[in-house]
Structure 1
Amino acid sequence: MFDRLKAYLDSVKARDPAPRSRWEVLLYPGVLALGLHRVAHWLFDAKLFFLARFINHFSRLLTAIDIHPGARIGRNLFIDHGFTVIGETAEIGDNVTIYQSVTLGGTNPTNGIGGKRHPTLADNVIVGSGAQIIGPITVGERARVGANAVVMEDVPAGATMIGIKARSTLVPAEEWAREFIPYGTPCEDAEGNKIDCFEKLESELASLRTELAALKAERNRDREAAKAHKQGSLDLAPKNGTDD
């Protein structure tokens, strides 16, 4: 048990440079919320719904993180800061990172119909601050959801989603970044990649312009040569009414 706890605290330290020790990580609201959720989820599975809800409300009061007791959470979830909401039928895989003010929300809460209503996050997903992931969709393994993105459709594995309504960036995450990305939001590497692409396009455009100018010059030379040849032929032709 203690080995698993140490491994979890070390996984948090690997994703956050702020803590100086494991003891400091123990005070993180996300760590406290996850620990209390484990208890609440055990009570929920035992159909002790009132006690599960009581612990859920106590945890929310203490940490500003609301995790429904029914949510299923894998190993090493790191919720950095608070104000996050995770719905009843949400499922979260291993080594997932969620930043502040994120909602894993359900669809159509007014119809009273149960079933799968909340998202599923696969292993190693990163969700940036303020992101909203809505409905029974799946966010694929190693996907990144950028800050303030609104995701309402399935996300392919390794994709990086940005914007409202969220769209995938041109470069998948696994192509340019194989390590952890804070806040799930591409910054320097992605911008550098875009700059490289623009520079390459500008270089290709300049080359095409040079080739086009050369072709135009060659065509003009051919026209001048043809014109000169025609003029020469006319000068050599015998003129009517003349007699040598």
Structure 2
Amino acid sequence: MTLKEFFLLLRSDLVRLDDPLHQRDDAKVNYLNLLNPRFFPVFFIRLARYCHKKKLLYPFAVFFTWLNFFIFGVECTPRCEIGYGLLLPHTSGTVIGAAEIGHNVTIFQGVTLGAVSLDMHFDVTTRPVIRNGVIVGAGAKVLGGITIDEFSKIGANSVVLNSIPANCTVVGIPGKVVVSNA
């Protein structure tokens, strides 16, 4: 990741704070959002990822990951590749251990994205892939080597253990598709 890419990601995250439903195309940045408490956890996630990709800065990746955990309650591995426009409206108790997260994804508080079993070596085959435009509701758990396809919605407190097609709404334990707009 280059420094330019890092700043472009941050810019997209700032724009997303003003337009959470991504309805406008004018994409103007409100720099007052630099002071928005919803931006800081995303900033630390981006900073940890940037440092993780630079060999000499790797210790800082660990530092920013822990700082984010202690201040905002977000545990996010710097190994997870996250697209532009990440939105974390509330952060407490969020665990992001996915293999990959797409663009314009919204993740609410108490969400866990990770492996089904103990995986301390970050095997991407045991971790979920979240595609573009997905919304993950508060308290939801998305576990295992599955894919949540584009523009799907995971209901609050759902437990998803199987891949979900695009444009679906999933609720329950275990998560079941209740609306499919595919």
TM bin, normalised by shorter chain, reads 0.7 to 0.9
| 8 Å Cα contact 2:9/2:84 also seen in 1 | no
CA gap of 1:28–1:81, structure 2 versus 1, over 3 A, is farther
Query: Which residue identity lines up with residue 53 of structure 2 in the other structure?
Result: D
Q: Which residue of 1 aligns with 2:90?
A: 81
Whose helix fraction is larger, Structure 1's or Structure 2's?
1
Matched, 1:46 2:51: no
Alignment of 1:29-178 (within 5 A): 29-47=37-55, 48-83=57-92, 84-87=94-97, 89-109=98-118, 114-116=122-124, 117-169=126-178, 171-173=179-181
TM-score (norm. length: structure 1)? 0.61
In the alignment, residue 95 of structure 2 is paired with which amino acid?
A: V
- Amino acid in the other structure paired with 1:137: I
The structure with the largest alpha-carbon Rg is: 1
Count of paired positions: 167
The alignment's TM-score, normalised by the length of structure 2, stands at 0.80
Unpaired segments ≥5 residues, structure 2? 22-28
CA contact 1:101–1:131 (8 Å) conserved in 2: yes
SS in 2 for 1:141: coil
Matched-pair contact (CA < 8 Å) for 2:112–2:140: yes
Amino acid at match of 1:77: L
Q: Is the 8 Å Cα contact of residues 129 and 145 (structure 2) preserved in structure 1?
A: yes
Q: Deviations over 1:207-242 (max 9, x none)?
A: xxxxxxxxxxxxxxxxxxxxxxxxxxxxxxxxxxxx
Kindly report the root-mean-square deviation, in angstroms, between the aligned alpha carbons of the 2 structures.
2.4
Q: Which has the higher contact order (CA 8 A, sep 6+)?
A: 2
Identity of aligned residues (%): 34
Change (3 A) 1:42 1:7: closer
Query: Which segments of 5 or more consecutive residues in structure 1 lack a partner in the other structure?
Result: 175-244
Structure with greater proportional strand content: 2
Instruction: Summarize the Cα distance change of 1:35–1:90 in structure 2 as closer, same or farther, 3 Å threshold.
Output: same
For 2:148 and 2:64, locate their aligned partners in 1 and report how far apart those are by CA, in whole Å.
Answer: 28
Taking the aligned partners of 1:62 and 1:173, their CA distance within structure 2 comes to 39
- Separation in 1, partners of 2:175, 2:103: 23
